[in-house]
Amino acid sequence: DQDTIDDIYAEYDSPEETVINFDEHAFESTLQFTKDYLLKMETHNSAVSKYAKGLNNFYSLWAFIALNQRHLNSPAHTAGRYADFMQKVITISKEKDLDAFLRDHDDDSYAEAFLYVKSSVKASTDQQQREERNKILEGVLLGEDTQQEVFTTDKYRNPVSL
């Protein structure tokens, strides 16, 4: 019934009234940072439009950026790693004989891609699967690389944990 839907939506009209310690400025700052970072990734190599077409992959990438903004490498570096990783995800997804493929690639070079695909099927919106995809993206995209600059800017203050 429309009244019920209206009531539910009304609960989220003013998060400052329903979320304890809600900081609208911090939320908007994180939102803007995440959008800008994604746009810079896209400008670098079109990784976002090429590999994050589906909502599952897009939301996973968005959450990764929002949750890890204090630790991110440059958008170009992240875009390169994301494209390489998602190419492996596509390869795994299309593989007809996955057991044979994984045996042929026993060096674990496809391990994270396999786990990402596994956490992206069936109830992929469950919190456990979302958290697993985020951990995988953290491992792949934040990996140690001492030669890369860390992406920082004073433009975005008060990052929040989502």
pLDDT tens digits, 30-73: 999 999 999 999 999 999 999 999 899 999 999 999 999 999 99
**pLDDT for the residue 110:** 94
Q: What is the pTM of this model?
A: 0.80
Q: Which two tokens stand for residue 32?
A: 């803007």
Give residue 52's Cα distance to chain centre.
Answer: 9
Residues paired with residue 150 on neighbouring β-strands, in sequence order: 73
pLDDT band at 158; cut points 50, 70, 90: very low
Whether 141 contacts 8, CB under 8 Å: no
Average pLDDT over residues 1-13: 69
Coil, strand, or helix at residue 16? helix
The DSSP secondary-structure symbol of 148 reads S
> Which residues lie across from 73 on neighbouring strands?
150
For the record, the structure tokens of 127 come out as: 């919190």
Residues in the chain: 162
The whole-angstrom separation of Cα 67 and Cα 106 is 32
Torsion (CA) 50, 51, 53, 58 in degrees, nearest 10 = -130
Q: Angle at the Cα of 132 (from 130 to 134), degrees rounded to 5?
A: 70
In this predicted structure, the answer to whether residue 29 has a pLDDT above a threshold of 80 is: yes
Closest CA to 137 of 59, 76, 29, 70: 59
DSSP 8-state symbol, 156: S
Tell me the backbone φ, ψ of residue 73, rounded to 5 degrees: -80, 180
- Residue 21 φ/ψ region, left for φ over 0, alpha for ψ in the -120 to 50 degree band, beta for the rest: left
